[in-house]
Structure 1
Amino acid sequence: MKAIQVAAYGSPDAMALAELDDPVPGDNEVLIDVAAAGVNPIDWKIVSGAMKAFIPLPLPFTPGVDAAGTVVAVGRHVTTLAPGDEVMGFIGIVGAYASRIVVDASRLARKPARLSFAEAAAMPAATLTAWQALHEHGALQAGQTVLIHAAAGGVGSAAVQLAKLAGAHVIGTASAGNREYLQSLGAAAFIDYRAQDFAEQVSQVDLVLDLVGGTTQARSWSVLKRGGTLVSTVSKPDAARAGNPAQVTGRHFATRADGPMLAALAALHASGEVRTHVDSVFPLQEASRALARSMGGHVRGKVVLDVTA
């Protein structure tokens, strides 16, 4: 099998394509021929070494958290999947940038027929993150107002659509060129973060989804209503900066792999109620270019690796 290998933390340019032995599935695992792998910001953060204090990994390792492909073999305790099934999943914190992978069956869902492998690989981590942020940590309700920062990215794009489906009034921040894109996903209002100060444009927000961190997160406290919630995937919100921390809540979380939840979200894609936008596709051997594209910011939707190219 082929796999991208990281031998030392640092620039993605140092990653190399290597030939490795095929993995063997354990009792509860599935062996997959990978067709496509999603590229996420967590990938280049891990490759750079920025996350090694929190996510220690033995070197060398293969990056990648999202994959889609076809089941080749299953472990003896796996009854939900069979060879030939087309699947997708948030496979773990590393491993997806490879032509074959083993994954715990509980992390996987069947790929909807209407989705290409590239679209399926782009979906799991972003859509699971968006759902868990909005519903498990943000307790979003119909009729509420949600402000989503970096709304045109992978998680943001999914969150706009899921919040709209939940009956929320959705406000998205992004660069000017993404206005029509976000409106097409269901955003009722748009803020060009380069030209407008969101803190002066909105107020009395029930939920802020922070996908940026830093000063954007710090300034987001001011737009929350009493009892509002700030949920961040980037860093733990500091409630002391809220002014009156007793009146608002800040939450930070790590995305949880969940095969049944992913299957339910896949059904929304199958019905056309939610869609995944693929920003760009790179062959596996150009994984360093794919990470550079993600690192550059302003990605609309997701960057994907074509593992079959």
Structure 2
Amino acid sequence: MKAIRVAQYGQPEGLTLQERPALVPGRGEVLISVAGSGVNPIDWKILSGAMKAFIPLELPYTPGVEVAGRVAQLGDGVEGFAVGDEVFGFIGIVGGYATEVVASADRLAHRPARLSALEASGVPAAALTAWQALHEQAQIKAGQTVLIHGAAGGVGSMAVQVARIAGATVIATASARNHDYLKSLGADQMIDYTQTPFETAVDAVDVVLDLVGGDTQARSWAVLKAGGVLVSPVSPPDAAQAKTVGASGKHFATRSDGAQLKKIAALFDVGKLRIDVEVLPLSGAEGALRKSWARHTRGKLVLDASR
């Protein structure tokens, strides 16, 4: 097998595609022949060294949290999957930028038939984050208004669709070049954050999903109605600010959940969800991480494990 290896924390320079020993699944695990690996902000955050106090890793390591591919071998005790099945999943915090991975079976689901393997490889982390943010943290309801910051990215584009399916009115912040794209996903109103402060264009929203953090999150309290909720997987919302405006703030880390991913797969199969991907070769992981690091991607970047 081959895998991208990170020898030291820092910038993406020096990532290399290396030959590695073949993997063997343990009890409850599945060996996957990888078709594609999704690229996510967590990948470059770990690579930067900013998270090493919270996520200690033995160097060198292989980045990547999500993949899609074919089941090559089953460990003891695995049920619900067979060799040859097409699967996808949020496999863990590292290991995905490779031609083979081993993952716990409960982190996986069968790939949606409507998606190619490369498209599916960009779904799990983003879709689970959006789903858990809106359904579990915000407890979104039909008729509510949801403001989504960073709406054109991987999580944001999924969140726009998840909120729309739930029956919410969706307001999205994004640069003007992404407005038609967001409208096609179901956003009801778009705000060009480069030209218009969002707090001058909206107020009294039920839910803010903050995928940006910093000043954007701080300014978001002004547009929440009393009893509303600000949810962010990026950084913890200020509890004092929440109390001042009579709202709540929630911070969470996305968890792998094969059963939840199965529900998401069903929505893809009936055409209620879609994903837009840009495909780069696995050997070009350095460039992909640089592009993700710039924070201006539309949809998802994925790596083709065959190249």
Query: What is the deviation of 1:294?
Result: 0.7
Paired position in structure 2 for 1:44: 44
Paired position in structure 1 for 2:272: 273
- 291, 300, 303: which one pairs with 1:302? 300
Query: What is the deviation of 1:239?
Result: 2.4
Deviations 1:257-309 (A, max 9, x none): 0001001101101111000111x211111100010111112111000000012
Paired position in structure 1 for 2:12: 12
Long gaps (5+) in structure 2: none
Deviations 1:3-47 (A, max 9, x none): 000111011112111111011100100001000000000001101
Query: What is the deviation of 1:199?
Result: 0.6
Paired position in structure 1 for 2:252: 253
Query: What is the deviation of 1:243?
Result: 6.8
> Structure 2: how far apart are the matches of 1:203 and 1:164?
19
> Structure 1: how far apart are the matches of 2:123 and 2:275?
6
- Amino acid in structure 2 at the alignment position of 1:265: I
- 2:13 is paired with a residue whose SS is helix
Aligned in 2, Cα 1:217/1:116: closer, same or farther, shift over 3 Å? same
The equivalences for 1:23-42 within 5 A come to 23-42=23-42
Does the 8 Å CA contact 1:222/1:242 hold for their aligned counterparts?
A: no
- Amino acid in structure 1 at the alignment position of 2:55: I
> Structure 1: how far apart are the matches of 2:135 and 2:88?
22
Q: Does 1:219 align with 2:219?
A: yes
The equivalences for 1:155-194 within 5 A come to 155-194=155-194
- Amino acid in structure 2 at the alignment position of 1:7: A
Does the 8 Å CA contact 2:172/2:182 hold for their aligned counterparts?
A: yes
Long gaps (5+) in structure 1: none
Paired position in structure 1 for 2:117: 117
- Amino acid in structure 1 at the alignment position of 2:301: V
> Structure 1: how far apart are the matches of 2:93 and 2:104?
13
> Structure 2: how far apart are the matches of 1:207 and 1:112?
29
Query: What is the deviation of 1:241?
Result: 3.0
Q: What do you get for the CA RMSD once the two structures are aligned?
A: 0.8
> Structure 2: how far apart are the matches of 1:111 and 1:242?
40
Paired position in structure 1 for 2:108: 108
- Amino acid in structure 1 at the alignment position of 2:291: R
> Structure 1: how far apart are the matches of 2:80 and 2:139?
31
Give aligned-pair identity as a percent: 61
- 1:230 is paired with a residue whose SS is strand
Deviations 1:44-80 (A, max 9, x none): 1101111111111111110000100000000110011
- Amino acid in structure 2 at the alignment position of 1:292: R
Paired position in structure 2 for 1:285: 283
- 1:244 is paired with a residue whose SS is helix
> Structure 1: how far apart are the matches of 2:73 and 2:16?
27
- 2:256 is paired with a residue whose SS is coil
- Amino acid in structure 1 at the alignment position of 2:238: D
> Structure 2: how far apart are the matches of 1:251 and 1:113?
34
Q: Does 1:263 align with 2:237?
A: no
Query: What is the deviation of 1:209?
Result: 0.1
- 1:101 is paired with a residue whose SS is strand
> Structure 2: how far apart are the matches of 1:243 and 1:78?
47
- 1:12 is paired with a residue whose SS is coil
- 2:261 is paired with a residue whose SS is helix
Does the 8 Å CA contact 2:242/2:249 hold for their aligned counterparts?
A: no
> Structure 2: how far apart are the matches of 1:213 and 1:44?
16
- Amino acid in structure 2 at the alignment position of 1:253: F
Deviations 1:107-157 (A, max 9, x none): 000011220111100000000000000010001100000000000000000
Does the 8 Å CA contact 1:109/1:259 hold for their aligned counterparts?
A: yes
Deviations 1:195-238 (A, max 9, x none): 00101110001000000000000000010000000000100001
> Structure 2: how far apart are the matches of 1:56 and 1:176?
39
> Structure 2: how far apart are the matches of 1:53 and 1:302?
28
Query: What is the deviation of 1:242?
Result: 4.3
> Structure 2: how far apart are the matches of 1:102 and 1:239?
39
